[in-house]
Each structure stands twice: as C-alpha cells, then as structure tokens.
C-alpha cells in the first residue's frame, strides 16, 4: 500500500512541477533533487543558484531529513522510541534535544485544536496497526481495547516539561508525531535554506509543501490533491511564503470485511475519524498546516470552522464523505477548481481569527504565522 501511495505521490509531484513550470519561462537556474524521508518522496526545488551551489545545498537538506527521520520515527528505535519507553514510569528524565521542540509544539497545537490533534494517542495508532510498513493489524482491535485506551484519556497536557526534564502523569501516553513531523521538518528545511542564502524554493513532501519566494517573479502555482488520492482537484498560487497541506483518508489504510480503516484516529472514539475524505489547509508555517489538516479532518464537516478559528487558520478546503466541498470565502476566492461544475460547494462564514505577520512568533525557533486574512 505504501508503494501505491508512493506512485500516486509521484504522479502528483510531476503534475505539481509541471504547473509550476508552465507559469512562466524560466530565466534563473533551477535545481531539483528527490530523496526519501518520512516514508515519502521529498522534492526540493531551488531557483537562482548555480549547479555546484545547489549540490551542496541539496546535500545539506537531505542530511537534515535523514536526521529528523531517525529522531522522530514512531516505531523504529531512536530518540522518540527512547522517550516512549521512559514515559510510562512517571519519573522525570532528560528529553533528547531532537524531540523536545516537537513535544512543546505538539502540546500547544493539541491545546489549540481542543485535543482533536493529539500526538499522545500513539498506543491507539499502534493498536490499529499503523505502526508498521504493512499497515495491517492482522485482526481488528477489540472494542474493549479501544474503549480502555480512550478512557485512559492520553493527552499532551499529561506531559510536564521542566527545563530539559520531562515527566508524564498518565501511563497511557505514547507519542506519535506522524501528523506533525513532516510539517516541522519542512519548516526547519526552509529555515536552513534561508540561512544558506536561498530565497526562492519549494520543499515538497509527497504533495505537502512549503513554497517561498517565486519563480522568476511569478507565484508558485500549487496542485491540490484530489480527495480520491490520485490526480488534482484544483490549483492555487502561493503568496510569498506559504505551506499547503492535505490530510486524506486515502493516505494509509487497510480493508477488512469490506470496510476501510484509515490512519487518522478520532481521539474521542478511538476509531478512524468519519465524515471526511480530505482536508487542505494553507498557512504560513508547515508545522501548523500539518497539524491543522489532521485536526480539521477529525473535527469533520460540522465543526471544522470552529477548530480552524481556534488554530488561527485562514484558508481551508474540506471534502466530505458525499464529495461536497466546504470552504471559507477566502479559500474559495483563491482556489481554481479544475472542474467547478462537478462540485457542490458550501461556503462557511469567514475565518476571522487568522494569525497575521504582526503577531509574535508562536514558538521559537519557528517563523511567525500569517499572513492569512479574510477579505
Ligand atoms: P499524512 O502524514 O499521511 O499526510 P496526517 O498529517 O493527517 O497525514 O497524519 C496522520 C498521522 O498522524 C497518522 O498516521 C498517525 O501517525 C497520526 N495521527 C492519527 N490520528 C491523529 C490525531 N487525531 N492527532 C494527531 N496525530 C494523529
Ligand atoms: Mg497532519
């Protein structure tokens, strides 16, 4: 299943790049590189640097991703694995520096999303069999097991950080940063690219990406993944510095007895979240966009607007189980659907709490959020 998802990613990446290139006739040199991290293909595109400089830059970024992949892997042994081993004891221990920022950011985003985004439910995700490349638990988890883990109520707020020491007040907490790590990694990669003097680039992890600057003065045009997982539903142009993230039920799943079970778990029920096919979020920081796409998927067609408001998100597209497109007006204004007549569209009230550039950063060392505003 990982292979077929990879193939879909490839298709999408090809179309994404083609769209970006067709927006203009390139004047500046463009470097592209592709490598594997976080179980997906990472595509790096940098504009305006010569070949030899690009080779150095791309080696540095590839190195970053290899490090992050190892540090944050949810089931391979490594720093996060060690943290997960130590958490249930309840005793304080020194957190590896590679994991601490993810815990701090994860705590904040869990809080802002009303704990619909909840990286503390690692035990539930493992129970459903998503802590393996095969993504097949053999048999479905029993209702009692699921209920026991839901009742134990693992939350990021059970983690107490004092300096570099961490302790956990709930033995049910196991960390899984599958809904956040890719975004955080992309933010760090963009920060590193800027330190290396790059002003125009895209870091694209299987269709989830952050784009900075432009392509010879033209905005990057980004393909939005179709909720079927293959193909494109529409496109949008990024504004100076933005991330576009999609969470979908087609990403990782298995079928049992004719029913499909996907990898985004509703922490309130312990079962795969229902009612949504995909959610696309546009936000400046990839970290926030990644967590928000997962949180809004769990929130569903009824509640996504409130949670987006709480998270300070300015642009959302949610495709529900019936194929209806839910959007806020600012998203509708900038999204170019490939076949507008094919879709029923439901516009929400404007999102008014979107963070703006003038606000202080939510958390060092990430850049400030914004500039998302309803017209
Ligand atoms: P993808 O990384 O495939 O694009 P997401 O960003 O939505 O998709 O992340 C899904 C992953 O996040 C799951 O595979 C799992 O590791 C983790 N996860 C599942 N449910 C939740 C949840 N409610 N809150 C936080 N993380 C979750
Ligand atoms: Mg996510």
The structural domains of the chain, with segments of one domain joined by +, span 1-352
pLDDT score of 356? 54
Q: Which segments of the chain does DSSP mark as H helices, in order?
A: 2-22, 51-72, 79-86, 100-112, 122-127, 143-151, 181-195, 286-311, 329-334
Q: pLDDT band at residue 238, thresholds of 50, 70 and 90?
A: very high
Q: What is the pTM of this model?
A: 0.89
Q: Is the CB of 187 under 6 A from ligand 1?
A: no
pLDDT score of 196? 97
Does 95 have pLDDT greater than 70?
yes
* Rama region for 222: left / alpha / beta (φ>0; ψ in -120 to 50; rest): beta
CA of 52 to the centre of ligand 1 (A): 37
Residue 106 or 353, more confident: 106
- 347 forms beta bridges with 327
Query: Which atom of ligand 1 is nearest the CA belonging to 74?
Result: 16
CA of 125 to the centre of ligand 1 (A): 9
Continuous segment of H or E residues that includes residue 327:
strand 325-327
Give the whole-number percent of the chain exceeding pLDDT 90: 75
Which class is domain 1-352?
Answer: alpha beta
Q: Is the CB of 176 under 6 A from ligand 1?
A: yes
How many CA within 13 A on the CB side of residue 102? 31
Q: pLDDT band at residue 371, thresholds of 50, 70 and 90?
A: very low
CA of 62 to the centre of ligand 1 (A): 23
Q: Is the CB of 179 under 6 A from ligand 1?
A: yes
Residue 52 or 363, more confident: 52
pLDDT score of 22? 41
Query: Which atom of ligand 1 is nearest the CA belonging to 245?
Result: 4
Looking at the CA of 272, name the nearest ligand.
1
Mean pLDDT computed over every residue of the chain: 88
The residue among 273, 71, 91, 85 whose CA lies nearest residue 184 is 71
pLDDT digits (tens, 9 = 90+) for 333-345: 999 999 999 999 9
Torsion of CA 14, 19, 20, 21, to 10 degrees: 90
Q: Is the CB of 182 under 6 A from ligand 1?
A: yes
Cα separation, 6 vs 73, whole angstroms = 18
pLDDT score of 124? 96
Q: pLDDT band at residue 250, thresholds of 50, 70 and 90?
A: confident
The residue among 212, 198, 277, 274 whose CA lies nearest residue 243 is 212
Rounded mean pLDDT, 99-105 = 97
């Amino acid at each position: 299943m990982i292979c077929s998802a990879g193939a879909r990613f490839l298709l999408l990446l090809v179309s994404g790049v083609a769209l970006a290139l067709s927006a203009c006739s390139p004047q500046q040199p463009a470097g592209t590189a592709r490598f594997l991290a976080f179980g997906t293909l990472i595509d790096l595109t940098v504009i305006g640097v010569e070949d030899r400089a690009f080779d150095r830059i791309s080696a540095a970024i590839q190195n970053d991703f290899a490090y992050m992949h190892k540090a944050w892997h949810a089931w391979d042994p490594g720093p996060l694995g060690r943290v997960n081993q130590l958490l249930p004891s309840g005793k304080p221990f020194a957190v590896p520096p590679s994991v601490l920022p993810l815990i701090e950011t994860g705590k904040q985003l869990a809080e802002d999303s009303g704990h619909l985004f909840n990286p503390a439910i690692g035990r539930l995700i493992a129970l459903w069999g998503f802590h393996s490349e095969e993504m097949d638990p053999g048999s479905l988890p029993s209702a009692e097991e699921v209920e026991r883990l839901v009742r134990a109520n693992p939350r990021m707020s059970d983690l107490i950080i004092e300096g570099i020491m961490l302790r956990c007040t709930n033995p049910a907490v196991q960390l899984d940063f599958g809904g956040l790590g890719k975004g955080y990694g992309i933010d760090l990669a963009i920060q590193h690219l800027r330190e290396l003097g790059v002003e125009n680039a895209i870091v694209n992890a299987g269709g989830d990406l952050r784009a900075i600057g432009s392509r010879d003065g033209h905005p990057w045009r980004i393909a939005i993944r179709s909720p079927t997982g293959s193909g494109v539903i529409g496109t949008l142009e990024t504004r100076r510095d933005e991330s576009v993230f999609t969470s979908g039920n087609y990403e990782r799943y298995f079928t049992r007895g004719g029913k499909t079970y996907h990898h985004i778990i509703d922490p309130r029920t312990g079962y795969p979240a229902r009612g949504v096919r995909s959610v696309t979020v546009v936000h400046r920081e990839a970290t926030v966009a990644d967590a928000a796409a997962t949180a809004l998927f769990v929130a569903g067609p009824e509640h996504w607007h409130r949670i987006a408001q709480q998270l300070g998100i300015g642009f959302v597209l949610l495709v529900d189980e019936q194929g209806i497109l839910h959007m806020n007006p600012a998203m509708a204004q900038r999204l170019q659907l490939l076949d507008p007549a094919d879709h029923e569209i439901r516009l929400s009230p404007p999102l008014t709490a979107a963070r703006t550039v003038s606000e202080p950063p939510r958390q060092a060392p990430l850049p400030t959020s914004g500039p998302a505003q309803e017209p």
